[in-house]
Every structure is written in structure tokens, then in C-alpha cells.
Structure 1
């Protein structure tokens, strides 16, 4: 039976409709265009095929073999750090130059290694590299918000097979983040806690949708999941952003990510997905300055993994309301089954 559930994170509604699971257009896997490793620009030994690296976890000279993770400018960058952040208006038409940074983090040297195949230490290296880039980009006070995400598979928008992560630094706060800051502050003033804190607490209490509960982090299929097999990972203590994690926290998070992807892979195979970080603004501006001093009290960063196993239609696009054909309770039960361990 269908249900309309309220997603308290985004303050929106999601339609859980199991009957739509059997639509003929449902598909599970697709793949990106495969190229030989000898011509993959992200593979070790092909460093000359990319722009000069911004950063790498390595013990030798830049732009050579011997790295663990590597960060380069996106060759097809959406924003440019060289531009000036000056807004312009012509009547109703307002714009600012596309100032910002667009970087590619190559997750590891392994061309075939998706998250479930990486060692926990390699996932920790990936997380450490993201932290280093957050801390560096934060120094540019023009940059307000970071979008950190992974696309895997053509259905998720990936164009390169080699596992990688994108980091976009923007001079504005996206509308959905502004909305979350506003509603999270309202929730905090009413309850003395942030939304993510209460979401995780109640999920761990209910136990119906929990996938992982060890160390500093918990993972669960959200009550109002917008996608089948969607997973949310959040800290069990107040950690506003990834860069505030201790070494033990990072190890716990890396273990959590590996366990979650192993469970997903056991049920879905090599599935297409988007992964993204929800982190607070990195610098204040006129849009967010009233929230910044409260972040360590009411904001917990989180990670979302959204498998892309079916195509969005007109209802989703026209209403900005998702239809999910698999209940999160059923997803959690499948992911926690013996076959997924």
C-alpha cells in the first residue's frame, strides 16, 4: 500500500509506492564507456594526460607515479577561480560570474576498485584527502559552499569509469542548503537539538532501517527515502563537518562506508549511484551569517548514497516529489540479510 511520508531533512514529501516496482522501464545497472587502462587519464602512469595536480597523497615528486590519491583541476570545469565575485543586475535579470573551484579527486590508483573493493585504509585516505581540500579551499573567503559528490555509472552522470570524486566550491549557498539551515535552526530553537541528531537517534531506537551502528557513526535507510536502497550515514556525536573528525572518527567512518557498500553490492551488483556529502557552509556571507555561530551545536554532516536503479519521470520533475517503489524497511531487511554479509 502506498504512503506519503515526510522527509524531515529536506522538509518535503516522498511517495512510497511499492506497486511501481514492477514497471517495465525499471533497470538496475548500466555502465560508463569503457576505455583501456593504458588510455585512462586517471590511472597511475598516465599522469601526463591530466592537468598538473593540485594535491596528492604521495612521498615523491608531483605528477609522477607512486600516489595513493590525487587531486587535479577538472578539465571541463563548471566554475573558475580566476574570476571576480561581483554581482550584476539588469532589471529582473541578476547574475554573478561563475567564480569558484572545480576539482577531481582520483579515489585510488585502482581502476576497477569500487568502494566495496577498497581496503578501509584506502577509504580513509580518500576521506583525508577531502578534508585537506576542504581546509585549503576554505582559505578563499569568496568561497561559501562546497558540493562534494561521486557519480558512478552512466545513469548517475559518470563519464569516466575510474572511480573519482568531484569537489565544486561555489560563491553562494544553494537553495536547498539555505532551506535546511533555516528549518534546522527553527528545529533547534524548539528542541535544543539539530534535525540530523534526532533523525539518527530515532532510527537507532527503532532499529527497523539500521544498517550499521558501531564506533562514531550510524547508517540507515531513511524513513522517507527518495530512492530505492538509499542510505544515509551520520555521526553519533556533534561533528559539524568532515574536517572536525578525529583519526578514530575517520577510521570508524571508513569502516561504515565499506560495510554499507558491501551490503549494497551484495543485493544490487555493480549498481549506478550518486554519493554526496551534506556539509555546512565553509565561510559566512549575507545569506548564512545568522546560522554560522550555531553550527557546532545543531549541524551534523552526513553522507547520502542514492542508487540510480530506475528513471525519473514527469511526476518527479513537475512536483519535486519523489516516488520510491521500494520501502526503506524492505531495503534494510534485504541489505541486512545473510546474503548481504
Structure 2
């Protein structure tokens, strides 16, 4: 039986339609077999990339022997060297493409996905993000940061070696401004942020909880846009990743690994997008009215969206997702280890 649900975080409807599950040609192609001849992200091939911005290592830069490595994106969407100066021509306004576009190479291992990595490697990955967030925050021109991971061709990845992208911008994307506005209204009405109440409701309902480890909870959102979509949120208001304690980062590494192991048991080899939703880096005219409340009403989240089904014209035309597997059914499958 189909059901239309409201995703309160994004203020969008999602159509849960189990009847669509078995339609022909629904499955997206899985990722290709990994080939890594002269992979620029593999250890020993450092000369094939731009000079590193940061690396977790105990030896000299731009050589083998690293645990994680951050480099400028060779095909960068924005450039840190440009001047942040707007241009106006009548009603048309633009600014140069100022910003940072970096690639975090998750580990030297070409074949190691998250579920295969040890928790220390995942911690190294998270701590490397923190180093870059802290550094980019020092550039007052940058206000929004996007950290995301595309894995597999269907999810938009062009390199097979596991990696993460970090993109910082001098403007706030419109969907983030809308979220800040709605979150502030919710806070003024309830004294709590939206994510705080969503998490507490999920914990109380129990139907969609996938895992709970230390400081973090993972759950399939009530109005999931994708089958097996999972959100991870901290139990306390932490607005950005670098505000986590050392113990919290350790908890986060453990729960991320567990989630990917559960997903792999259900889906095998699968394409996915993973992204962090973090508080703004700095204040500007767009977000300045919300910044004093970040520690009270903003809670960072991680969203993992397996890309196992194709989307079509309805989704593009309406902005409304059709999800053929309910989040409750996904959690049952996780718990019973049966397959879809």
C-alpha cells in the first residue's frame, strides 16, 4: 500500500510505493570492477596529483608513507585565488567562482571501501576532514562547506579509488538558507532544533533505528527518499564535525563502519552518495541572524543514500521522490539479515 510522507527536514513529500519495487529495469547498474593501473590516488603515484594541502604522515610531503592525503581538485569548480568581488549589470549579478575544492584521499588502499576499513582508518578520515574544516574557516570569505563522497558511476564518481570531496563557497546555497529559516522558526516555537526532535522521535518510535553506539544514532528517516537511506546524528547539539570530542569521533567511526557492513550484507556491491550537513563556516549577510543560535538549535548530520534504483521523469518534474522500499522494511531486513 502506497503512502505519501512529509520529510520535515527538507519540507518535501516522499511517495513510499512498495508496488513499484518489482517493475522492470528498476535496478541501477552496480559499480564496475576496480582497476588501478597508475591510479593517481594510490600510494607511490603522488607525482600524478597536485602538491598536497595536508597529509596524515610522519615523513616528507608528496611522498609515499601517508594514511590520508588532501590535494586540490584537478578539475575544481571554484578557485581560492580569485577575488571575492561581485559584479552587477542591471538585474544580473555575479561574483567570481571563489572557493576551495579539495579531494581527501581516504586511504592508500585502492580496494578498501568503508565496510572493509578498520575503525582507526575511518577515524583518520574523519580527523583529516576536521583539519581541513578548521583551516578553511580561517578564510572569512568562505561561509558554506560541503563534504561529500560519491561512490560508483551511478553516484557520480569518476575515480574508483575511495575519496571524499570538500567544497567551500562564499555564498549559502538556497536550500541551506531555507533550512536555517525553518529551523529557526521551529526553535522559536519549541525551544529545540528540528534534528533534535526528529532524533528523539525516532528513538521513541524504535521502528527505524538501525544502530545506536555511544554518542550517535543511525536510523532510516521516516520519509526516506531512497531505499536503505540512513541518517546519522549525534545525541547532543554539535553543529559541526570539529566540535566533536575525541571519544565522539571514535564512536562515529564505529557506527559508520557498522552501517556500511549492514548495507553491504543487504546490497552487496552498491553505488552511494554520502554527505555531511554542517553549520556555516563563517557569518555573512545571508546567515548572520542565525549564527548566534548554532550551539542551541543546529545539529550536524550524515546522510548515506544508496543509489540502487533509477529515478525518472516524475522525480525530476516534481522534486518528489518515489521510494519503493519503506524505511521500516529496510530496518527489518537489517535486523533479520534477510535480503530484499
Give the TM bin, normalised by the shorter chain: over 0.9
Aligned residue number for residue 103 of structure 2: 104
Aligned residue number for residue 21 of structure 2: 21
Secondary structure of 1:294's aligned partner = helix
Inter-partner Cα distance in structure 2 for 1:49 and 1:32: 23
Q: Shift in Å at residue 318 of structure 1?
A: 1.1
Aligned residue number for residue 87 of structure 1: 86
Aligned residue number for residue 328 of structure 1: 327
Secondary structure of 2:184's aligned partner = helix
Residues 217, 235 of structure 1: 8 Å contact kept = yes
Secondary structure of 2:60's aligned partner = coil
Inter-partner Cα distance in structure 2 for 1:21 and 1:96: 45
Aligned residue number for residue 31 of structure 1: 31
Give the direction of change, closer, same or farther, for the CA distance of 1:167–1:32 in structure 2 (3 Å limit). farther
Q: Which deviations, in whole Å up to 9, do the C-alpha atoms of 1:99-153 show, x marking residues without a partner?
A: 0010000001111111100001110000000000000000000001011000000
Q: Which deviations, in whole Å up to 9, do the C-alpha atoms of 1:259-281 show, x marking residues without a partner?
A: 10000000001100000000011
Secondary structure of 1:143's aligned partner = coil
Aligned residue number for residue 58 of structure 1: 57
Aligned residue number for residue 290 of structure 2: 291
Inter-partner Cα distance in structure 2 for 1:61 and 1:139: 25
Residues 38, 46 of structure 1: 8 Å contact kept = no
Matched, 1:306 2:305: yes
Residues 34, 111 of structure 2: 8 Å contact kept = no
Q: Which deviations, in whole Å up to 9, do the C-alpha atoms of 1:149-204 show, x marking residues without a partner?
A: 00000000001110000000101111111111000000111111111111111111
Residues 33, 160 of structure 1: 8 Å contact kept = no
Inter-partner Cα distance in structure 2 for 1:178 and 1:332: 32
Residues 147, 277 of structure 1: 8 Å contact kept = yes
Q: Shift in Å at residue 312 of structure 1?
A: 1.3
Inter-partner Cα distance in structure 2 for 1:90 and 1:30: 46
Q: Shift in Å at residue 23 of structure 1?
A: 1.8
Give the direction of change, closer, same or farther, for the CA distance of 1:273–1:206 in structure 2 (3 Å limit). same
Inter-partner Cα distance in structure 1 for 2:337 and 2:309: 25
Aligned residue number for residue 5 of structure 1: 5
Inter-partner Cα distance in structure 2 for 1:161 and 1:127: 20
The number of equivalent residue pairs is: 339
Q: Shift in Å at residue 336 of structure 1?
A: 2.1
What aligned pairs does 1:1-341 form with structure 2 within 5 A after superposition? 1-32=1-32, 34-35=34-35, 37-338=36-337
Unaligned runs of 5+ in 1: none
Residues 28, 310 of structure 1: 8 Å contact kept = yes
Inter-partner Cα distance in structure 1 for 2:50 and 2:228: 36
Q: Shift in Å at residue 85 of structure 1?
A: 1.1
Inter-partner Cα distance in structure 1 for 2:317 and 2:28: 24
Inter-partner Cα distance in structure 2 for 1:128 and 1:297: 24
Inter-partner Cα distance in structure 2 for 1:311 and 1:84: 40
Inter-partner Cα distance in structure 2 for 1:339 and 1:228: 15
Residues 28, 310 of structure 2: 8 Å contact kept = no
Inter-partner Cα distance in structure 1 for 2:141 and 2:311: 35
Inter-partner Cα distance in structure 1 for 2:175 and 2:218: 22
Q: Shift in Å at residue 29 of structure 1?
A: 4.1
State which drifts further: 86-95 or 155-164: 86-95
Inter-partner Cα distance in structure 1 for 2:33 and 2:69: 22
TM-score by length of 2: 0.98
State which drifts further: 316-325 or 131-140: 316-325
Q: What is the RMSD computed on CA atoms of the aligned residues?
A: 1.2
Residues 50, 71 of structure 2: 8 Å contact kept = yes
Residues 116, 259 of structure 1: 8 Å contact kept = yes
Residues 28, 154 of structure 2: 8 Å contact kept = no
Q: Which deviations, in whole Å up to 9, do the C-alpha atoms of 1:241-296 show, x marking residues without a partner?
A: 10000000000000010010000000001100000000011100000000000000
Q: Shift in Å at residue 32 of structure 1?
A: 4.7
